[in-house]
Amino acid sequence: MARWVDRIRQGLLALRPRPEPDEERFTRQWLTREQRAAFASLSAHDRAHLVRVARTIARRAPDQRDLIVAALLHDLGKTDGRHRVRLVDRVIKVLLERGSPRLLHWLARPEPSRLRAGIALAVHHPALGAARAAELGCSDRVVWLIKHHEDSTIDDPELRLLADVDQATP
């Protein structure tokens, strides 16, 4: 139940995204110029969320650079330059994950129409973001953390921290 409350809170905050204070200074500390440009291409809501996640992780694990970089970039796959994940896509994904995973899988199949592009990005953003992170010169560990940040079956303490903070952070 708590996960649903967190997801609803995230959705409501997406309606009126608030930029995080000192976003530019914080991202400069952890990301290369190219990585910051990719980060900047995300929606204001996604950027604020990523900074909040990364700040939480930096407080808990300040010496884990790869984990902090992964926290800042784990949602890179939510835009492809032409389309982005919209609030409606997020809602559809959350509802169908629970109610009809087969329908969600069908809607997110490759080569989606413009109407389904956001849903496809929402579903496949871990793999898409990992591929983008690799192109941006991120370490293999960062790429792996991004690729698996929604996979709850893997036993890895850093991945678990990233996933838990991601889920709990609006």
pLDDT block averages, 10 residues each, the chain of length 170: 59 63 94 98 94 97 98 97 94 94 95 91 98 98 98 96 95
Are residues 107 and 92 in contact, defined by beta-carbon separation less than 8 angstroms?
A: yes
Residue of 33, 39, 147, 129 whose CA lies nearest to 78: 129
Domain count, the chain: 1
The reported pLDDT for the residue numbered 21 is 79
Per-residue model confidence as pLDDT tens digits over 20-58? 779 999 999 999 999 999 999 999 999 999 999 999 999
The reported pLDDT for the residue numbered 20 is 72
CA 158 vs CA 40, 129, 134, 144, 161: distances in Å: 25, 18, 19, 11, 5
The reported pLDDT for the residue numbered 154 is 96
The reported pLDDT for the residue numbered 109 is 94
Could you tell me the residue range of the domain that residue 83 belongs to?
Answer: 2-168
Q: Is 17 exposed, middle or buried (0-12, 13-18, 19+ CB in 10 A)?
A: middle
pTM of the predicted model, to two decimals?
A: 0.90
CB atoms near residue 107 (< 10 Å): 20
The reported pLDDT for the residue numbered 79 is 96
